[in-house]
Amino acid sequence: MAYVVVDTDVSSQILRDRLPSTLATKLAGKTLCATFVTVAELTQWAEMHRWGARRKLALTQWLTSLLILPHSEREDDTVLEDVARTWGEISANARLRGRPRPQNDTWISATCLVYGLPLATLNAKDFADYAYHDRLTLITG
């Protein structure tokens, strides 16, 4: 089964049942994953907009249907260190190129790179630098 990481904008569109059909078609039959960053950003959004219990429950239920990354079944949990080191490397390289990227986009990119998974996004420009320089695979709509 193919795994795809969905970023926060795609997750938001899925939750609102507004995902463009072109991207929905590309994601059909895939196992959707999200990073810890997307969980944090969606939780922040719900809190900032004072979602009621019903909407928060729907968000929680949807998130439990996803594989949340980083996730490791390894006893030593080195995958967390791998994501952190990759974040440091790609973040530093982007800065050295004069293209510092937002921290959350960098965490999402680092997680995808460590797992070797593509990222589904509606904001390709936010990740284009990592796609070009670090071979992050993007799925866009």
Identify whether 102 is preceded by a cis peptide bond (ω within 30 of 0).
no
**pLDDT (average), residues 128-135:** 97
What confidence tier does 141 reach under pLDDT thresholds 50, 70, 90? confident
As a whole number of Å, the end-to-end CA separation of the chain is 21
pLDDT digits (tens, 9 = 90+) for 48-82: 999 999 999 999 999 999 999 987 665 567 888 99
Run of H or E residues at 46: helix 36-48
Query: Domain range holding 47?
Result: 3-140
Q: Which amino acid is at 16?
A: R
CATH of the domain at 19: 3.40.50.1010
Report how many domains make up the chain. 1
pTM comes to 0.93
Nearest to 133 by CA among 85, 99, 103: 99
pLDDT digits (tens, 9 = 90+) for 17-37: 999 999 999 999 999 999 999
